[in-house]
Amino acid sequence: MKVLKFGGTSMGDEQTWQQVLQIIQRYPQPFVIVSATARTTRQLLAAAEQALNKINSAHKQAEKIHTHHVEIINNFLNNYPNAKPVIAKKCKSWIDKKIAELDNLLHDINKTQTLTLRQKDAIASIGEHLSSYLLAQCGSAAGLQTTWIDAAKIIRTDSDFGQASPDKEIINKKAGSVFDNLGNGTIPIMGGYYGKDKQGNITTLGFEGSDYSASLVGAALSADAIEIWTDVSGIYTCDPRVIDGARPIPQLSFQEATELAYFGAKVLHPSTTKPASQKQIPVRVKNIFDPEAPGTEITHQTVPNGNVKAITYKKDCSIITVTSSQTVMGYEFLSGVFDTLRLQHLPVDVVTTTEASVSIAIEHKNGLEQTVEQLKSLGDVKVETQNGIISLVGCRKDYSQSFIKNILAHLNNRPIKLFSYSRSKGNLNIVMHQDDIIPSVKLIHDHLFG
């Protein structure tokens, strides 16, 4: 059994829904997980913000989401005139119901003048509630034996709204029992990204969390493979939308894929590989627009290619430099700095240290200002915003000085702010001003893969 996940771009309109259903049909009884339709999550979150002081705009946004889904359904079902009357009615009442729930949530936010993370999660999950139910209905209109599964029935998490952690033991049990109780050959279609906590509140697994849902379900059901279907033919040597010469990488190890995802390759959510690698389940990244293309296979194996595997980058990072005050001892100083970051759940991207100071590159996130204030108790704190990180992942382990020298030469004298190289992991990170990132990535990519 395979788990197939289709992202927002694959769920864009009725034509891509047809493509998704054709791919599903190629498998005996896959477990299907889908994201919200493209842009819907962003629109939902925008509506939540607007509800605080522009309630009319928020309701208009909800109406737009309503219209968009009705349109997809109508256009899709026009191809199935016999099934259309019954299925269209079912779909329409589901859309009405979910948008009414959304309007109620928006109304509450406006009334109380507060927007909690719990409310945000409930609102964000509506995108997947809509897409997964509607695709399951369209599947049956097209003659497939599909059934909708509410992710809240399987994905149990803690109550850390916005970035909830899954309870794997409960997920294993629930996924197993849902799958065992399906009719013979029935294909489950479930929304990714959201789950439910112990108290019954809707939670989400973090932005782009549908990949993670797929991996959790795949591990729970000991699937043969987890396939992430998207709009490009696998993981590339760099983002193909930014770098013309980027090409798909046939094979990556779990560790390499995780590093790439963590350092900005948005094709995969960074947590995706964890459940899969624990159960040794291969993850494949495939293209719905070119299903025959081999894509990328991610397994335990590290296959050296005599070069670097890929380059990735992220922008909107800050460099925080803390210089120890005389009163704090060296080891206390470092542990104090990292404890402060831990308490705010802020993951560190690049670190360099001297005896009395530490510089950290970190993605700009909520809570950073507060952290900076707290760090001031440890010493002098300097913050530089608008930086970015270039990461070279899967470097050959026997690279010599000339490798690093050549990479640096291709930065064309653009200033480096921080630099780290791990020979054991084969990773090289360069922190620069964010305006220097893309031109540098282009030159390094050309040098390594051109």
Of the candidate residues 7, 188, 191, 394, the single one contacting Mg ion (CB under 5 A): 7
Which residues lie below 8 Å from residue 220, measured CB to CB, with a gap of 6+? 154, 168, 171, 172, 174, 175, 176, 275
The one-letter amino acid at 232: V
User: How far is Cα 58 from Cα 102, in angstroms, rounded to an integer?
Assistant: 10
Taking the C-alpha atoms of residue 94 and residue 133, their distance in angstroms, rounded to an integer, is: 8
Distance of CA 11 to the CA centre of its chain: 16
Segment interacting with ligand ADP, rule: CB under 6 A, options 106-114, 226-234, 386-394, 424-432: 226-234
DSSP 3-state percent helix, strand, coil across the chain (nearest 5): 40, 25, 35
β strands within 325-356, DSSP E? 348-353
8 within 8 A of 17, measured Cβ to Cβ: no
Nearest residue to 213 via CA among 199, 200, 196, 201: 196
Q: Does residue 7 touch ligand ADP according to CB under 6 A? A: yes
Is residue 359 a contact residue for ligand ADP (CB under 6 A)? no
Span from 227-235, 335-343, 348-356, 370-378 in contact with ligand ADP (CB under 6 A): 227-235
Instruction: Choose one: 2-10, 131-139, 141-149, 231-239; the region binding Mg ion (CB under 5 A).
Output: 2-10
Q: Which of residues 166-225 bind Mg ion (CB under 5 A)?
A: 208
The stretch near ligand ADP (CB under 6 A) out of 82-90, 119-127, 237-245, 390-398 is: 237-245
Which amino acid would we find at residue 384?
Answer: E
Q: Which of 2, 4, 8, 276 binds ligand ADP (CB under 6 A)?
A: 8
How many residues touch Mg ion (CB under 5 A)? 2
Nearer to ligand ADP, 251 or 321 (CB): 251
Q: Which of 121, 239, 297, 436 binds ligand ADP (CB under 6 A)?
A: 239
Pairing of strands 283-287, 225-230: parallel
Among 103, 167, 197, 231, binds ligand ADP (CB under 6 A): 231
127 binds Mg ion, rule: CB under 5 A: no
d(CA 32, CA 289): 18
In the list ligand ADP, Mg ion, none, the entry touching 395 (Cβ below 5 to 8 angstroms by class) is none
Nearer to Mg ion, 238 or 360 (CB): 238
Question: At 281, which amino acid appears?
Answer: I
DSSP assigned state of 224: S
The verdict on 231 binding Mg ion (CB under 5 A) reads no
- CB nearer to ligand ADP: pick between 62 and 310: 310
- What is the rounded distance in angstroms from the CA atom of residue 81 to the CA atom of residue 166? 42
Is 336 among the residues that bind ligand ADP (CB under 6 A)? no
Identify which of residues 230 and 321 has a Cβ nearer to ligand ADP in the complex: 230
Give the one entry of Mg ion, ligand ADP, none that residue 44 binds, where binding means its C-beta sits below a cut-off of 5 to 8 angstroms depending on kind.
Answer: none
DSSP-based three-state secondary structure for 410 = coil
The partner in contact with residue 235, picked from Mg ion, ligand ADP, none with C-beta cut-offs of 5 to 8 angstroms by kind, is ligand ADP
236 burial level (CB within 10 Å; 0-12, 13-18, 19+): buried
Whether 5 contacts 223, CB under 8 Å: no
Instruction: Please report whether residue 191 would count as binding ligand ADP according to CB under 6 A.
Output: no
User: Residues 265, 358, 375, 392: which binds ligand ADP (CB under 6 A)?
Assistant: 265
Contact between 267 and ligand ADP by CB under 6 A: the answer reads yes
State the residues that interact with ligand ADP by CB under 6 A. 7-10, 35, 208, 230-232, 235-236, 238-241, 265-267, 310, 312
